[in-house]
């Protein structure tokens, strides 16, 4: 969601602006900075993109300052305008605050602050934090921030500066915030990606931490007691090149084509290519010992990976299972107890609803298994065990390589569970799945290579369409939903994913000559069934785009367009079939002139509920 960057060091404003540019992928509608210029505080902000911001405002007068914070806002409270943009200041204009999160008790705080004489200028919850700090300030900014943050209910990552002070003060609760330790300065950001050009050494603040950054270093205190605590400096293996486009016009396209490599790295981490064994067997067997059920939970694209995981659990294990969208889970959870393993899937490990579900499950005695791409994330710290996806940084808002890596990890995990005594159905089938999984990177590469020409033709034909229907069954039930999500989120075309068997219960009423349907019709256990669904669409003169196995003449004759994919082991079709659909969404979006890396109203990491 919102992006925060802070710096204490040379050319702090330029460092902050560079960091905010690297956080553009998170989604935003406004931008602003606050710089300490001697005894004064300079705030510049507007409801525009960073590029236009730099053209409109002359920052030369503050470019050499050594203390600054900056923010890109994704609106939650108050309309998108200059007044509501961050940073926000106190009554005297001497304290500036940037914030990512949601303050749930903002209404009561606003009434109290107004009653005590504070002048509230914006509609945001963030401005209230500046006034709370003002109230609590008696000479020590860190202590004032600590006391103010103790009054806040909700989630927050806060950055604060004050006129006349060479320090940046931070506070964190349930929203990500990291400190970068560099040779030339100390930095803060919502994500390490913002700072990789400056350092690869980070302090990952924990919930309840407050911190002071000065030229001398970093001091971290407990937000409740004020007691100083030690947080170790960790080295991050990612580098700035990992987060660059490398000649591609968009991050999304680069990340689509990085999938074979990401899969190779992920699968190799979890499966021994010589013995076909599962490398994390010991940890997983300990976690699942005497367990009876699994709860899968995630949001967005990661939820679609969980849907595939639910089919895997059904086919390979005897475990009871549930599969829930995290935003619904905490309000209507399945039965949870010490016989449950909750599998939480998240690219960033900072998705607010997923973290809330994890905390609830832990309270009920469940064990937590995380599937995550970020080793230093909150989810990983909360989990009892983690299986990592090695997709590298994913910058494009629309998830691509993280999704297929999540599918690979779920296949590897369930293939081993299937061989465990008491919960597995058939050890030999699990070994077969792992053998086939090792060949998945090549099959995904073939799918991408085969798709290019067909995808170009289909995009040219349908990019002006107003709506699409995506159909799939069994393992590719989730592929239909994910394919539709990719199209709608980056092209702004309405698209609906549906189980093909449910088509006659409503969607078939929409079929007409200008209503394209994308059907996943591969040689799997429901091949004949979905072919019948395609026949029904063609009988009503609806155009059909099929994702089908290579050289399937039956599908070619029946449908209008075909995207060919290699034939694979059935549970692996979701990874093979989604890649050309990612490419199709990308091509359609670019033909429509959309910003595929930063689609409107969306954020990469949803860190508020």
**For residue range 163-203, what is the model confidence (pLDDT) as tens digits?**
999 999 999 998 889 999 999 999 999 988 889 889 999 99
- The mean pLDDT of 427-434, rounded to a whole number, is 89
Q: pLDDT tier at 367 (50, 70, 90 boundaries)?
A: very high
Contacts of residues 40-43 at CB distance under 8 Å and 24 or more positions apart, as own/partner, are: 40/163, 40/164, 41/89, 41/93, 41/94, 41/95, 41/96, 41/161, 41/162, 41/163, 43/87, 43/89, 43/93, 43/96
Same domain, 236 and 330: no
pLDDT at 403 over 60: yes
Task: Say if 221 falls within a structural domain.
Answer: yes
476: which DSSP letter? G
Q: What is the pLDDT of residue 76?
A: 78
Q: Are 184 and 202 in contact (CB under 8 A)?
A: no
Same domain, 71 and 47: yes
- The mean pLDDT of 539-550, rounded to a whole number, is 93
Same domain, 288 and 164: no
User: Where does a domain end: 410, 425, 440?
Assistant: 425
Q: What is the pLDDT of residue 241?
A: 59
The angle subtended at Cα 51 by Cα 395 and Cα 195, nearest 5°, is 45
Task: Say if 445 falls within a structural domain.
Answer: no
Q: pLDDT tier at 502 (50, 70, 90 boundaries)?
A: confident
Q: What is the pLDDT of residue 273?
A: 86
3-state secondary structure of 463: coil
Task: Say if 54 falls within a structural domain.
Answer: yes
Task: Say if 355 falls within a structural domain.
Answer: yes
pLDDT digits (tens, 9 = 90+) for 235-250: 987 666 566 777 789 9
Task: Say if 473 falls within a structural domain.
Answer: yes
Task: Say if 431 falls within a structural domain.
Answer: no
Q: What is the pLDDT of residue 304?
A: 98
Same domain, 228 and 321: no
At 188, give phi and psi (nearest 5°): -140, 150
- The mean pLDDT of 275-299, rounded to a whole number, is 94
Same domain, 150 and 37: yes
Number of structural domains, the chain?
3
Task: Say if 608 falls within a structural domain.
Answer: no
Q: Are 165 and 155 in contact (CB under 8 A)?
A: no
Same domain, 210 and 310: no
Helical H runs in 344-476?
352-363, 378-382, 401-417, 427-437, 440-462
Q: What is the pTM of this model?
A: 0.76
Residue 305 domain boundaries: 246-425
Task: Say if 414 falls within a structural domain.
Answer: yes
Edge-first strand order for the sheet with 40-46 is 40-46, 30-37, 67-73, 3-8, 186-189, 178-181, 201-204, 234-235
Same domain, 317 and 386: yes
- The mean pLDDT of 152-169, rounded to a whole number, is 94
DSSP states along 76-95: SSS-SSTTTSSPEE-TTS-E
The tokens for 360 are: 């609830």
The tokens for 1 are: 């969601």
CATH of the domain at 576: 3.40.50.10490
pLDDT at 608 over 60: no
Same domain, 539 and 419: no
Higher pLDDT, 393 or 609: 393
| Helices 300-316/401-417 angle, 10° precision | 20
Which of the residues are catalytic? Answer: 2, 604
User: Do you know the residue count of the chain?
Assistant: 609
User: Where does a domain end: 196, 226, 242?
Assistant: 242
Q: Give the Cα separation of 62 and 68 in Å (integer).
A: 9
- Quote the distance between the C-alpha of residue 482 and its chain's center: 14
3-state secondary structure of 161: strand
Same domain, 464 and 519: yes
Same domain, 374 and 468: no
- The mean pLDDT of 457-461, rounded to a whole number, is 96
Same domain, 414 and 511: no
User: Where does a domain end: 202, 225, 242?
Assistant: 242
CATH of the domain at 60: 3.60.20.10
Same domain, 563 and 465: yes
Other Cβ atoms less than 10 A from the Cβ of 50: the count is 17
């Amino acid at each position: 969601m919102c992006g925060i960057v802070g710096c204490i060091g040379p050319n702090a404003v330029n460092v902050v602006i560079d960091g905010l540019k690297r956080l553009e992928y998170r989604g935003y509608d406004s931008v602003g900075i606050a710089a300490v210029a001697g005894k004064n505080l300079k705030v510049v902000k507007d409801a525009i993109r960073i590029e236009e911001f730099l053209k409109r405002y002359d920052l030369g007068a503050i470019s050499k300052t050594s203390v600054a914070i900056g923010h890109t806002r994704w609106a939650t409270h108050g309309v998108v305008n200059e007044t509501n943009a961050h940073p926000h200041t106190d009554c005297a204009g001497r304290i500036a605050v940037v914030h990512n999160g949601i303050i749930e008790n903002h209404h009561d705080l606003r009434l109290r602050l107004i009653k005590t004489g504070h002048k509230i200028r914006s509609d945001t919850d963030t401005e209230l934090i500046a006034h709370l700090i003002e109230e609590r300030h008696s000479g020590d900014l860190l202590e004032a921030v600590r006391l103010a943050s103790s009054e806040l209910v909700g989630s927050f990552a806060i950055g604060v500066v004050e006129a006349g002070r060479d320090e940046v003060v931070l506070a964190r609760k349930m929203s990500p915030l990291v400190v970068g330790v560099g040779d030339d300065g100390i930095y803060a950001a919502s994500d390490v990606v913002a700072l990789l050009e400056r350092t690869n050494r980070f302090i990952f603040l924990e919930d309840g931490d407050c911190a002071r950054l000065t030229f001398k270093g970093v001091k971290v205190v407990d937000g409740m007691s004020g007691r100083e605590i030690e947080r170790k400096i960790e080295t991050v293996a990612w580098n700035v090149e990992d987060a660059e486009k490398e000649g591609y016009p968009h991050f999304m396209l680069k990340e689509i084509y990085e999938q074979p490599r990401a899969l190779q790295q992920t699968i190799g981490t979890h499966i021994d290519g010589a013995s076909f064994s599962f490398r994390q067997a010991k940890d997983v067997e300990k976690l699942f010992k005497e367990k009876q059920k699994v709860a899968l939970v995630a949001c967005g694209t990661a939820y679609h990976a969980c849907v595939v995981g639910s089919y895997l659990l059904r086919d390979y294990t005897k475990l009871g299972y549930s599969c829930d969208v995290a935003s619904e889970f905490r309000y209507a959870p399945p039965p949870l107890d010490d016989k449950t393993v909750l599998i939480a899937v998240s690219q960033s490990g900072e998705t607010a609803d997923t973290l809330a579900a994890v905390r609830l499950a832990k309270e009920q005695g469940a064990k937590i298994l995380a599937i995550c791409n970020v080793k230093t994330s909150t989810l990983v710290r909360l989990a009892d065990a983690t299986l990592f996806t090695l997709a590298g940084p994913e910058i494009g808002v629309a998830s691509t390589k993280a999704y297929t890596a999540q599918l690979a990890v779920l296949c590897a995990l369930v293939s081993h569970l299937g061989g465990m005594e008491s919960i597995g159905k058939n050890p030999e089938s699990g070994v077969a799945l792992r053998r086939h999984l090792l060949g998945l990177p090549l099959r995904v590469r073939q799918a991408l290579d085969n798709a290019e020409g067909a995808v170009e033709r289909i995009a040219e034909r349908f990019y002006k369409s107003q709506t699409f229907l995506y159909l799939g069954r069994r393992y590719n039930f989730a592929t239909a939903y994910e394919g539709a999500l990719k199209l709608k989120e980056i092209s702004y075309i309405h698209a609906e994913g549906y189980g093909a068997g449910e088509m006659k219960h409503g969607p078939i009423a929409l079929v007409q000559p200008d209503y394209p349907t994308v059907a996943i019709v591969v040689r799997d256990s429901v091949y004949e069934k979905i072919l019948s669904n395609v026949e029904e669409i063609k009988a009503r003169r609806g155009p059909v785009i099929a994702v089908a196995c290579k050289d399937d003449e039956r599908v070619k004759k029946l449908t209008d367009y075909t995207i060919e994919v290699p034939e694979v082991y059935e549970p692996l079709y979701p990874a093979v079939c989604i890649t050309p659909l990612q490419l199709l969404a990308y091509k359609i979006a670019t033909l429509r002139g959309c910003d595929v890396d930063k689609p409107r109203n969306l954020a990469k990491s949803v860190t508020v509920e």
